[in-house]
Structure 1
Amino acid sequence: MTVVDVYQQDGIVQVPQLLDPAEVERVRTVFMEQVAVDHSLAIDDGVPDDDPLAKYPRFVHPHRRTDTDAGKVALELMLDSRILDVVQALIGPALGAQSMFYFKPPGARGQALHQDNTFLRADPETCLAAWIAVDDVDADNGGLAVVPGSHRTDLLCPEPADLTESFTNAEVPVPAGLSRVQTKMKAGDVLFFHGSVVHGSRPNTTADRFRRALIFHYIPEDSVEIAAFYNPLIRPDRRETVLPEAIGGGPCGDYAQMEP
């Protein structure tokens, strides 16, 4: 089966070793250097000071901060032709909507099951994630779990999550008849998945292994609106563009100011 065939069937496709070891090491280095300097690229998730995520918060939209080495690398990879070629094969010509970097140090909580389309609200189609493993990833260090086939379901309404397991307090159920599958990835692998795919992760239970990941979200170029948080969008030639704001909540309410 081709990459497109797998994506159409499962809503998920893993491309091995899209980044080489030297590129992965560069990503790892610039983000670790940045988090040691300051947290100016971070979003406030409201975690307590003694939480491992307080020292290593997630960075949101680093590609907008090209005054930093981490931001320069994020923008470079967001528009890298190897990634964009896969994105275009899956959803057609695309715009970059978001970048994120998760450090997920030892002892960090996971993130409850969710669907990215709840937050980005690109219309009329979907967003697409490109999830780059910056470390080897498995269940022990809190690797991503996905629900193949859930891209064919409607958006599911979140319920309160178990905050001992998740740093976010919204969780969707696994759709009836489908199953949660634990991913296993090598550093440099990229997992592409549809915005309605149910996914999340459990805590990092290791003593000494990070589970770092650089994540991009894209939307089709012909999208007509998106949640305001994601403007401005980035074209492959680095030009910015702005779409009208998606107004009003989706079927489960307004999550426009929340983060996936």
Structure 2
Amino acid sequence: MTTLLTELADAPTRYEQLGVVQVRGLLTTDEITRIRDVFTDQVERDSSLGHDDHVPEDDVLRRYPRFVHPHRHPDTEAGRIARSLMLDRRIFDVVESLIGPAFAAQSMFYFKPPTARGQAMHQDNLFLQAHPETCIAAWIGIDRCAADNGGLAVVPGSHRIQVLCPEPADESESFTNIQVPLPEGVEITQTELEPGDVLFFHGSLVHGSRPNTSDRFRRSLIFHYVPQASREVAKFYNPLIARTGEEVSIAESADGGACGDGWQPGPH
């Protein structure tokens, strides 16, 4: 089994090799507690920040929808936290050590309560369409994340594959309806994160998660970044944000990208 835990000094080399690294305890216990409390209070009090994934009325994800771009809602405490951490030096420094100067592109928060479906295997840059350089994710564990509560599974080395075009997914297992086909012989690594750990992974890395079969939530706060060397990104992600807080827009990528005109990039 591939080891993903990495010291910061070794992260660039490991990232180049694997396309994914795990940094232990980048956020403090107090920070994680505040994030967990604020976002959970927000969704239970007012889920209007939630993204409509067209799940059935009786689906638990109807009550706990994922938040997409909460940083664009500074009128809420959850939105202010998302924007602050999206530009936090600790996270941005690691991102830029891996991909060079970057812009922040997206924030997301997943609640994934018990019984929630997972998300089939996919690649992030299929959605962000950052070109010619791909995106990177910073995936922060808010709860302990393991196999039983639907923690991420990743395919180390798959960042070299580039973009795989999607096919239908098993919607009894996944709340999304697409997945990418796994090449033969690849190794799937189940991640295990403690609260405050951060996974950084390449936009072409194949990853996904299984349903939450535990009695615990699997909450996570996720940011995406694109290199400043990228000249275009899907419309949904403009404006980008420089680490100084300045908003920046770059050219919009054509719908479809490598997967043809029928593919519409957007939130994932």
With normalisation by structure 1, the TM-score equals: 0.97
Contact 1:133 1:189 in 2 (8 A): yes
Say which of 202, 205, 221 aligns to 2:228. 221
Aligned: 1:240 with 2:234: no
Aligned: 1:131 with 2:139: yes
Q: Report the alpha carbon displacement of residue 154 of structure 1 after superposing the two structures with TM.
A: 2.4
Aligned to 1:197: 205
2:34 partner SS:
helix
Contact 1:112 1:166 in 2 (8 A): yes
Q: Deviations over 1:107-156 (max 9, x none)?
A: 00000000001010111111000000000010000000000000001211
Say which of 64, 79, 84 aligns to 1:71. 79
CA distance in 1, matches of 2:125, 2:210: 21
Query: Which runs of 5 or more structure 1 residues have no equivalent in the other structure?
Result: none
CA distance in 2, matches of 1:78, 1:248: 26
Aligned: 1:180 with 2:188: yes
Aligned: 1:115 with 2:119: no
Say which of 176, 179, 188 aligns to 1:171. 179
Q: Report the alpha carbon displacement of residue 257 of structure 1 after superposing the two structures with TM.
A: 4.0
CA distance in 2, matches of 1:58, 1:73: 16
1:113 partner SS:
strand
Say which of 256, 261, 267 aligns to 1:249. 256
Of all paired residues, the percent bearing the same amino acid is 62
The residue type equivalent to 2:76 in the other structure is T
Count of aligned residue pairs for this structure pair: 259
The residue type equivalent to 1:173 in the other structure is P
CA distance in 1, matches of 2:30, 2:216: 19
Q: Deviations over 1:148-197 (max 9, x none)?
A: 00000121111100000000010112223311111011010000000000
CA distance in 2, matches of 1:151, 1:123: 15
With normalisation by structure 2, the TM-score equals: 0.94
